[in-house]
Protein backbone atom coordinates (compact mmCIF):
# COMPACT_ATOMS: atom_id res chain seq x y z
CA UNK A 1 0.00 0.00 0.00
CA UNK A 2 3.06 2.26 -0.43
CA UNK A 3 3.62 4.23 -3.61
CA UNK A 4 6.72 6.30 -4.31
CA UNK A 5 6.66 8.81 -7.18
CA UNK A 6 9.00 11.58 -8.28
CA UNK A 7 6.62 14.54 -8.58
CA UNK A 8 9.25 17.18 -9.36
CA UNK A 9 12.96 16.95 -9.95
CA UNK A 10 14.38 15.16 -6.88
CA UNK A 11 11.11 15.56 -4.97
CA UNK A 12 9.60 12.19 -4.11
CA UNK A 13 6.07 11.56 -2.88
CA UNK A 14 5.93 8.53 -0.60
CA UNK A 15 2.26 7.72 -0.06
CA UNK A 16 0.83 5.16 2.34
CA UNK A 17 -2.81 4.19 1.89
CA UNK A 18 -4.77 3.10 4.97
CA UNK A 19 -7.86 1.24 3.72
CA UNK A 20 -9.52 1.14 7.16
CA UNK A 21 -10.05 4.89 7.01
CA UNK A 22 -9.93 5.22 3.21
CA UNK A 23 -7.16 7.77 3.46
CA UNK A 24 -3.76 8.22 1.93
CA UNK A 25 -0.85 9.91 3.71
CA UNK A 26 1.85 11.50 1.56
CA UNK A 27 5.36 12.38 2.71
CA UNK A 28 7.75 14.33 0.52
CA UNK A 29 11.46 13.68 0.33
CA UNK A 30 13.65 16.34 -1.26
CA UNK A 31 16.94 14.81 -2.35
CA UNK A 32 19.42 17.66 -2.30
CA UNK A 33 22.72 18.58 -0.65
CA UNK A 34 20.81 18.96 2.63
CA UNK A 35 17.95 16.49 2.23
CA UNK A 36 14.54 17.55 3.51
CA UNK A 37 11.67 15.32 4.53
CA UNK A 38 8.36 17.20 4.61
CA UNK A 39 5.92 15.31 6.88
CA UNK A 40 7.59 13.05 9.40
CA UNK A 41 4.43 10.95 9.40
CA UNK A 42 2.70 8.91 12.05
CA UNK A 43 4.88 6.92 14.43
CA UNK A 44 3.13 3.75 13.28
CA UNK A 45 4.19 4.41 9.70
CA UNK A 46 7.81 5.11 10.53
CA UNK A 47 9.27 1.64 9.67
CA UNK A 48 7.57 1.67 6.27
CA UNK A 49 8.66 5.22 5.51
CA UNK A 50 12.21 4.62 6.68
CA UNK A 51 12.48 1.65 4.32
CA UNK A 52 11.13 3.67 1.41
CA UNK A 53 13.43 6.63 2.07
CA UNK A 54 16.41 4.28 2.37
CA UNK A 55 15.79 3.14 -1.21
CA UNK A 56 16.31 6.72 -2.35
CA UNK A 57 19.14 7.89 -0.10
CA UNK A 58 21.10 7.22 3.08
CA UNK A 59 18.50 8.08 5.72
CA UNK A 60 21.17 9.11 8.22
CA UNK A 61 21.96 12.07 5.93
CA UNK A 62 18.56 13.77 6.28
CA UNK A 63 19.16 17.35 7.45
CA UNK A 64 15.69 18.88 7.74
CA UNK A 65 12.37 17.42 8.87
CA UNK A 66 9.61 19.90 8.06
CA UNK A 67 5.85 19.99 8.50
CA UNK A 68 2.94 22.40 8.50
CA UNK A 69 1.42 22.09 11.97
CA UNK A 70 1.73 20.02 15.13
CA UNK A 71 -0.35 16.92 14.51
CA UNK A 72 0.62 13.26 14.44
CA UNK A 73 0.43 12.72 10.69
CA UNK A 74 2.61 15.81 10.25
CA UNK A 75 5.28 15.15 12.88
CA UNK A 76 4.42 12.13 15.06
CA UNK A 77 7.62 10.30 14.05
CA UNK A 78 9.80 13.42 14.23
CA UNK A 79 12.02 12.06 17.00
CA UNK A 80 12.46 8.71 15.28
CA UNK A 81 13.88 10.56 12.24
CA UNK A 82 16.08 12.74 14.45
CA UNK A 83 17.49 9.66 16.17
CA UNK A 84 18.28 8.10 12.82
CA UNK A 85 19.83 11.23 11.30
CA UNK A 86 22.24 12.90 13.76
CA UNK A 87 22.47 16.20 11.85
CA UNK A 88 18.74 16.52 11.21
CA UNK A 89 16.75 19.38 12.68
CA UNK A 90 13.00 20.01 12.80
CA UNK A 91 11.89 22.94 10.68
CA UNK A 92 8.57 24.68 11.23
CA UNK A 93 7.02 28.06 11.92
CA UNK A 94 7.99 30.14 14.93
CA UNK A 95 4.64 29.58 16.62
CA UNK A 96 4.91 25.81 16.18
CA UNK A 97 8.45 25.80 17.53
CA UNK A 98 7.63 27.84 20.62
CA UNK A 99 4.21 26.35 21.39
CA UNK A 100 4.84 22.64 20.80
CA UNK A 101 7.84 21.42 18.88
CA UNK A 102 10.70 22.56 21.10
CA UNK A 103 9.05 20.78 24.00
CA UNK A 104 8.28 17.60 22.07
CA UNK A 105 11.40 17.28 19.96
CA UNK A 106 14.73 15.84 21.10
CA UNK A 107 16.43 18.74 19.28
CA UNK A 108 15.25 22.33 18.95
CA UNK A 109 13.55 23.41 15.76
CA UNK A 110 14.74 25.81 13.17
CA UNK A 111 11.91 28.32 13.55
CA UNK A 112 10.87 30.17 10.41
CA UNK A 113 8.94 33.41 10.11
CA UNK A 114 7.23 34.90 7.08
CA UNK A 115 9.40 34.82 3.95
CA UNK A 116 12.32 33.10 5.63
CA UNK A 117 14.05 30.87 3.09
CA UNK A 118 15.37 27.42 3.86
CA UNK A 119 18.03 26.39 1.38
CA UNK A 120 18.71 22.71 0.88
CA UNK A 121 21.46 23.35 -1.66
CA UNK A 122 20.00 23.54 -5.15
CA UNK A 123 16.51 24.30 -3.88
CA UNK A 124 15.15 27.16 -1.83
CA UNK A 125 11.99 26.89 0.25
CA UNK A 126 10.10 29.99 1.31
CA UNK A 127 8.06 29.72 4.50
CA UNK A 128 4.56 31.16 4.35
CA UNK A 129 2.62 31.21 7.63
CA UNK A 130 -1.03 30.22 7.15
CA UNK A 131 -2.56 30.35 10.65
CA UNK A 132 -5.70 28.19 10.91
CA UNK A 133 -5.40 27.23 7.22
CA UNK A 134 -5.93 24.28 6.92
CA UNK A 135 -6.03 24.28 10.72
CA UNK A 136 -3.85 25.03 13.70
CA UNK A 137 -2.51 28.33 14.96
CA UNK A 138 0.96 27.18 13.97
CA UNK A 139 0.13 26.20 10.37
CA UNK A 140 2.41 27.18 7.51
CA UNK A 141 3.57 25.90 4.14
CA UNK A 142 6.84 25.69 2.23
CA UNK A 143 7.16 26.88 -1.36
CA UNK A 144 10.04 25.70 -3.53
CA UNK A 145 10.88 28.65 -5.69
CA UNK A 146 12.68 27.29 -8.77
CA UNK A 147 10.10 24.69 -9.80
CA UNK A 148 7.23 26.35 -7.91
CA UNK A 149 6.23 23.35 -5.85
CA UNK A 150 4.04 24.13 -2.85
CA UNK A 151 3.90 21.70 0.06
CA UNK A 152 0.35 22.42 1.08
CA UNK A 153 -0.36 19.93 3.87
CA UNK A 154 -4.10 19.19 4.30
CA UNK A 155 -5.26 21.73 1.74
CA UNK A 156 -6.85 20.04 -1.30
CA UNK A 157 -7.69 16.99 0.85
CA UNK A 158 -9.08 14.06 -1.14
CA UNK A 159 -10.39 10.86 0.42
CA UNK A 160 -9.47 7.45 -1.00
CA UNK A 161 -6.47 6.10 -2.84
CA UNK A 162 -5.69 8.33 -5.79
CA UNK A 163 -3.26 8.43 -8.66
CA UNK A 164 0.07 9.81 -7.41
CA UNK A 165 -0.16 12.89 -9.60
CA UNK A 166 -2.63 14.40 -12.02
CA UNK A 167 -2.97 17.38 -14.33
CA UNK A 168 -6.77 17.17 -14.24
CA UNK A 169 -8.57 19.54 -11.90
CA UNK A 170 -8.89 18.12 -8.38
CA UNK A 171 -11.35 20.75 -7.18
CA UNK A 172 -14.48 18.56 -7.50
CA UNK A 173 -12.81 15.92 -5.36
CA UNK A 174 -11.90 18.56 -2.81
CA UNK A 175 -15.48 19.80 -2.67
CA UNK A 176 -16.75 16.23 -2.22
CA UNK A 177 -14.15 15.61 0.48
CA UNK A 178 -15.15 18.73 2.42
CA UNK A 179 -18.84 17.84 2.17
CA UNK A 180 -18.14 14.27 3.26
CA UNK A 181 -16.01 15.42 6.17
CA UNK A 182 -18.63 17.92 7.33
CA UNK A 183 -21.28 15.19 7.30
CA UNK A 184 -19.42 12.81 9.60
CA UNK A 185 -17.24 12.57 12.69
CA UNK A 186 -14.54 14.69 11.04
CA UNK A 187 -16.80 17.75 10.78
CA UNK A 188 -15.01 21.06 11.35
CA UNK A 189 -11.77 19.57 10.04
CA UNK A 190 -11.05 22.96 8.47
CA UNK A 191 -12.23 26.16 10.17
CA UNK A 192 -13.57 29.03 8.09
CA UNK A 193 -12.71 32.49 9.39
CA UNK A 194 -12.44 36.03 8.05
CA UNK A 195 -8.77 35.24 7.38
CA UNK A 196 -9.35 32.13 5.27
CA UNK A 197 -9.94 33.79 1.91
CA UNK A 198 -7.02 36.15 2.38
CA UNK A 199 -4.61 33.35 3.24
CA UNK A 200 -5.72 31.34 0.19
CA UNK A 201 -5.32 34.43 -2.01
CA UNK A 202 -1.75 34.90 -0.72
CA UNK A 203 -0.99 31.29 -1.69
CA UNK A 204 -2.63 31.76 -5.11
CA UNK A 205 -0.34 34.77 -5.64
CA UNK A 206 2.74 32.53 -5.61
CA UNK A 207 1.32 30.81 -8.72
CA UNK A 208 2.52 27.32 -7.80
CA UNK A 209 2.84 24.81 -10.61
CA UNK A 210 2.81 21.71 -8.42
CA UNK A 211 0.65 21.23 -5.34
CA UNK A 212 2.17 18.57 -3.10
CA UNK A 213 -0.94 17.48 -1.20
CA UNK A 214 -0.78 15.37 1.96
CA UNK A 215 -4.04 13.46 1.42
CA UNK A 216 -4.67 12.75 -2.27
CA UNK A 217 -3.06 13.28 -5.64
CA UNK A 218 -0.37 15.81 -6.29
CA UNK A 219 -1.66 18.37 -8.78
CA UNK A 220 0.35 19.72 -11.72
CA UNK A 221 -1.11 22.79 -13.36
CA UNK A 222 -2.31 26.30 -12.64
CA UNK A 223 -1.96 26.39 -8.86
CA UNK A 224 -3.12 30.00 -8.65
CA UNK A 225 -6.44 29.08 -10.20
CA UNK A 226 -6.64 25.96 -8.03
CA UNK A 227 -6.30 28.07 -4.87
CA UNK A 228 -8.96 30.53 -6.05
CA UNK A 229 -11.27 27.62 -6.86
CA UNK A 230 -10.56 26.17 -3.43
CA UNK A 231 -11.41 29.51 -1.82
CA UNK A 232 -14.77 29.45 -3.59
CA UNK A 233 -15.47 25.87 -2.55
CA UNK A 234 -14.50 26.52 1.06
CA UNK A 235 -16.71 29.59 1.20
CA UNK A 236 -19.64 27.63 -0.24
CA UNK A 237 -19.20 24.58 1.96
CA UNK A 238 -17.87 26.13 5.17
CA UNK A 239 -18.64 29.84 4.98
CA UNK A 240 -21.27 31.91 6.76
CA UNK A 241 -24.06 30.69 4.50
CA UNK A 242 -23.33 27.08 5.32
CA UNK A 243 -25.62 27.14 8.37
CA UNK A 244 -22.76 28.00 10.73
CA UNK A 245 -20.95 24.84 9.77
CA UNK A 246 -23.83 22.62 10.83
CA UNK A 247 -24.89 19.55 8.93
CA UNK A 248 -28.37 18.11 8.64
CA UNK A 249 -29.30 14.63 9.83
CA UNK A 250 -29.15 13.59 6.18
CA UNK A 251 -25.53 14.65 6.12
CA UNK A 252 -25.88 17.56 3.73
CA UNK A 253 -25.01 21.18 4.23
CA UNK A 254 -27.95 23.51 4.75
CA UNK A 255 -27.67 26.97 3.28
CA UNK A 256 -29.85 30.02 3.75
CA UNK A 257 -31.36 29.33 0.35
CA UNK A 258 -32.70 25.89 1.26
FE1 LIG B 1 -3.75 18.54 9.80
FE1 LIG C 1 -3.07 15.62 7.44
pLDDT for 133-142, tens place per residue?
999 999 999 9
Average pLDDT over residues 168-190: 95
Rounded to the nearest angstrom, the distance between the alpha carbon of 45 and the centre of ligand 2 is 14
Instruction: Categorize the per-residue pLDDT at 240 as very low, low, confident or very high, splitting at 50, 70 and 90.
Output: confident
Rounded to the nearest angstrom, the distance between the alpha carbon of 134 and the centre of ligand 1 is 7
Rounded to the nearest angstrom, the distance between the alpha carbon of 18 and the centre of ligand 2 is 13
Rounded to the nearest angstrom, the distance between the alpha carbon of 256 and the centre of ligand 2 is 31
CA 67 from centre of chain = 7
pLDDT given for residue 250 in this prediction: 53
Nearest ligand to the C-alpha atom of residue 21: 2
Average pLDDT over residues 184-202: 94
This prediction's pTM:
0.93
- Statement: residue 183 has pLDDT above 60: yes
- Cβ pair 37, 64 in contact under 8 A: yes
Residues flanking ion ligand 2, Cβ below 5 Å: 73, 154, 214
- Statement: residue 258 has pLDDT above 50: no
Nearest ligand to the C-alpha atom of residue 24: 2
Rounded to the nearest angstrom, the distance between the alpha carbon of 257 and the centre of ligand 1 is 31
Rounded to the nearest angstrom, the distance between the alpha carbon of 69 and the centre of ligand 2 is 9
- Cβ pair 115, 106 in contact under 8 A: no
Q: Outline where 78-217 has alpha helix (H).
A: 78-84, 94-96, 102-104, 171-182, 196-205
Please tell me which residue, 111 or 243, carries the higher pLDDT value. Answer: 111
Instruction: Categorize the per-residue pLDDT at 251 as very low, low, confident or very high, splitting at 50, 70 and 90.
Output: low
What's the length of the chain?
258
CA separation (Å) from 251 to 77, 189, 191, 192, 245?
Answer: 34, 15, 18, 19, 12
Instruction: Categorize the per-residue pLDDT at 242 as very low, low, confident or very high, splitting at 50, 70 and 90.
Output: confident
- Statement: residue 51 has pLDDT above 90: yes
- Across-strand partners of 143? 126, 150
Rounded to the nearest angstrom, the distance between the alpha carbon of 40 and the centre of ligand 1 is 13
pLDDT given for residue 35 in this prediction: 98
Rounded to the nearest angstrom, the distance between the alpha carbon of 214 and the centre of ligand 2 is 6
Instruction: Categorize the per-residue pLDDT at 241 as very low, low, confident or very high, splitting at 50, 70 and 90.
Output: confident
Amino acid sequence: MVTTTEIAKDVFRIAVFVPEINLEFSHFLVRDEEPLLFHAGLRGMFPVLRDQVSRLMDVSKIRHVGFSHFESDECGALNQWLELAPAAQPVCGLVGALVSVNDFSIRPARALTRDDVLSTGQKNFRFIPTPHVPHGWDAGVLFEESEKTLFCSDLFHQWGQREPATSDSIIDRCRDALLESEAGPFANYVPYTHHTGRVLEVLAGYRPRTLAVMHGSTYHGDGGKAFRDLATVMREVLGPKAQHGETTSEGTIRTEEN
